[in-house]
A and B are shown apart, each in its own frame.
Chain A
C-alpha cells in the first residue's frame, strides 16, 4: 500500500513539474518575441507574461503542496471503478490503434483505418479480439463513412486513390536512376508535414 502511494505521489510530482516546465516554456518563448514598433503600448508579450507568470507561481505552490503530501483524488470511472494499478497492456493497445489510424488514415482510407481504430479501442476496453469484433468494427466504420461522405458531404479519405496509384503507378523509369544517385529525395515526402 505504501509503495503504491509513494508511486502515485511520484507520478503527481512529475506531472506538477511538467506544468511548471510548461510555465517556463511560455515565459522563455514570450521573452523571445521580436519587438515590433507597430503594436503601440501593449504588445503580444504582456498578456503572455501574465499567464506564464501566474502559472509559474501556481505550479510552484502546487509542487510544495504535493511534496507535503497533498495529493489529488483520481476521477471515477462511469459504470466501473478506478483502480490504482495501471493496465499498460490495454493502454498500449489503445495507443497503437490511435497511432496507426493517425499515420495511415490518408493512405489507406477511413473504411480500413476506422475499422482498425474501433477494433483496437474496443479491445483495449475489454472486448475479445475475435471475428465478431472485426465484423462490428467494419460495420461501424462503414456506417460512419457513408454518413459523412454521402449524407453530410464531408469527405473522409476513401483510400481508393491509393489503390489506383498501386494499380497504375506513375511512370517512374527515369526516376529510378535519380534515386540511385540521391536516395534522400524519396524521404522528402514524409518529412513535408513537419
Chain B
C-alpha cells in the first residue's frame, strides 16, 4: 500500500462540502435502512438518483456513508421490531429483540453500532492494505481466470441462498437471461429485444433492483399480507452501554470481524453464513460463564453485527480489485460506481490510484460519521418505526417509481418496473431468492465478455477455460461449495433448535 496516496485520499475527502455529503449520506442511509422492508441493496438503489447530480468525489463519500448507514439502520429494525430486513440480520434479531424486550434495547443498539464501527474500521483498514495486492494479482489474471471467478460467484450465491439449490440456480439463470436483453456490444446483434427500440439498451439495473424489492414486496404484501397489532418495542433516549457490556462485547466484535471479513472477500453468498458462524461461536463460548443465550445475550448481538459489517467491507476487496461483486449489495454498489464512470477492477488501481484511496477514505469517514450520528440519534430513528405501515409502503413505492422514471425520463421504464415487480411478487410467493437474479443481471454480461475473450484468444478451443491452475482450483472450490450447503443447512437447523 502506498501510504502517501492513502493520506492524499483522506485529505481529498476531508473538505467541508464532502463531509457535508457524508453526513447527508449517513442520515439518508440510516433513515432508509431503518424502514422495515428495505435492505441495503434496495436502500442504495433508491438513493442512487439522489446522488446523480453530485460531483464524483462527494458522491463516493455519500455512497460510503449510505453503504454503512443502511446496514446499521437494518440492525435497528431487527432489534426493535423483531423483523430482520435481510438474511444478514436474522442472527441479530434472535438475541437483539429479546434484549429489547427485557428493557436492554439501549445496550443492544449500542453494541450493534460500536461493533459495526469497530468491524468496519478494521475491515476497511485491511481493504486498504489487501486490495492493491489483489489488484496486482488481478492484472495478471487471464480472461479464463476471471470467468472462473464469476462462475464461482454465481454458483455460491445460487446454491447457498434460497430453499433449494435448483430454485437458487433457476433464479440465477432467469437473471442471466434478463442480462442478455439488448444489443450485443461486440456484434450489434439484437438479443431478446423483440424489435422494441426501448429494449436495445437492456434493462436498467436500478430499475430492476427497485422494482424487484420495492414493487415486488408491496404487491406481495397487498396480495398476501395481513397486519395485526404491531410487535414493536418502544425506545427513547441514547444508545449506550455499561462497562460490563463493553467487557462482554469486545471479544465478540473482534471474533465477528475475523469471521466476517474473509467470508466477504471470497464469494460465499453474502452475510448469511458469517453471521450464523459468529452466532454459533459466541453461543458455544458463552457456555463456560454466565450464559444468557435465548434470553437476550449481548454477545449474540455484538458478534453477528460485527461479522455482518466486516463481511460488507470484505466484499469491497473483490469489487474494487477485480470488479466482481459477490453480494446483491456489492452488485448495486458496482452499478452506482458505473453511474460515475468509475470502472472497478485491477486497472483502476494503476490508472486512478488516488480515486481508489479517496473511496477507501470515504468508507472510513462514512463509518466514523455513522457512530457519531447514530449513538445520540437512535431514539429518533426508532420513532420512524411508528409510521403506519400503509404510509410506509405508499412512500416506498412512490419513491421507487420516481427513481425508475428520473433515470431516463421515460414511461417505458415504468412499465418495465411493473412487470419486474410482478416477477418479484411471484418469486416471493413461490420461495425463490431474488439475490441470484440480481447478480445474474449485473455480473452476467461481464462474465460473457470474459468468456468470449478467453475463447477468442484460444481460437474457440473450450479447453482454455480450465487451462490454468487457478481455474482448476476455482472449479474444485465450486464443487465443494455445491456440496457443503446442504450440510450447513442441517447444522443450522440443529443449532436453532
The segment out of A146-154, A166-174, A176-184 that lies at the interface is A146-154
> Which of chain A's residues have a CB closer than 8 A to the CB of B409?
155
The main secondary structure of chain A at its interface with chain B is helix
Tally of A-B residue pairs with Cβ under 8 A? 246
Residue of B52, B164, B393 ringed by the most chain A CB atoms within 10 A: B393
Contact A44 to B388, CB < 8 A, known contacts A79-B83, A148-B402:
no
- Whose C-beta in chain A lies nearest to the C-beta of B173? A55
* A154 contacts B49, C-beta separation under 8 Å: yes
Most buried by B among A15, A42, A45: A42
Q: Which A residues lie within 8 Å of B226 (CB)?
A: 77, 80-83
Q: State the Cβ distance, A15 to closest chain B Cβ, in Å.
A: 5
The answer, yes or no, to whether B418 is at the interface (CB within 8 Å) is: yes
Q: A58-B169, A125-B218 are in contact. Are A144 and B180 (CB under 8 A)?
A: no
Chain B, range 183-204, C-beta contacts under 8 Å to A = 184, 186-192, 196, 198
A39 vs B188: C-alpha distance when bound (angstroms): 10
Report yes or no: A33 in contact with B428, Cβ–Cβ below 8 A: no
Q: How close is A40's CB to chain B, nearest CB, in angstroms?
A: 6
User: A44 touching B191 by the CB < 8 A rule?
Assistant: yes
CB distance from B201 to the nearest CB of A (A): 15
B interface bracket (residues with beta carbon within 8 Å of A): 35 or more
Is A162 among interface residues, defined by CB-CB distance under 8 A? no
B130 contacts across to A, CB distance below 8 A: none
A22 within 8 A of B: yes
A residues 1-60 touching B (CB-CB < 8 Å)? 11-12, 15-16, 18-19, 22-23, 25-26, 29-30, 33-34, 36, 38-48, 51-52, 54-55, 58-59
| A108: Cβ under 8 A from any B Cβ | no
Contacts of B411 in A (CB 8 A): 102-103, 105-106, 193
Q: Of residues A45, A61, A88, A102, which shows the largest number of chain B Cβ atoms within 10 Å of its Cβ? A: A102
CB pair B163–A36 under 8 Å, yes or no, is no
Contact A79 B191 (CB under 8 A): no
> Which residues of B sit under 8 angstroms from A110, Cβ to Cβ?
402
- The answer to whether A11 touches B430 (Cβ under 8 A) is yes
A-B contact pairs, 14 of them (CB 8 A): A42-B451, A44-B186, A54-B169, A55-B173, A72-B432, A75-B428, A79-B389, A80-B225, A90-B223, A102-B414, A121-B393, A125-B218, A125-B390, A141-B398
Given A72-B432, A78-B36, A78-B85; 20 other pairs, CB 8 A cutoff: A15-B426, A22-B174, A39-B187, A41-B455, A41-B459, A41-B460, A44-B189, A44-B191, A58-B166, A65-B166, A72-B167, A72-B429, A72-B431, A74-B431, A79-B231, A80-B227, A103-B411, A118-B398, A121-B397, A154-B53
Residues of B within 8 A of A (CB): 36-37, 49-50, 52-53, 81, 83, 85, 163-164, 166-167, 169-170, 173-174, 176-177, 180, 184, 186-192, 196, 198, 215, 218-228, 230-231, 388-391, 393-395, 397-399, 401-402, 405-406, 409, 411-412, 414-415, 418, 421, 426, 428-432, 444, 447-448, 451-452, 455-456, 459-460
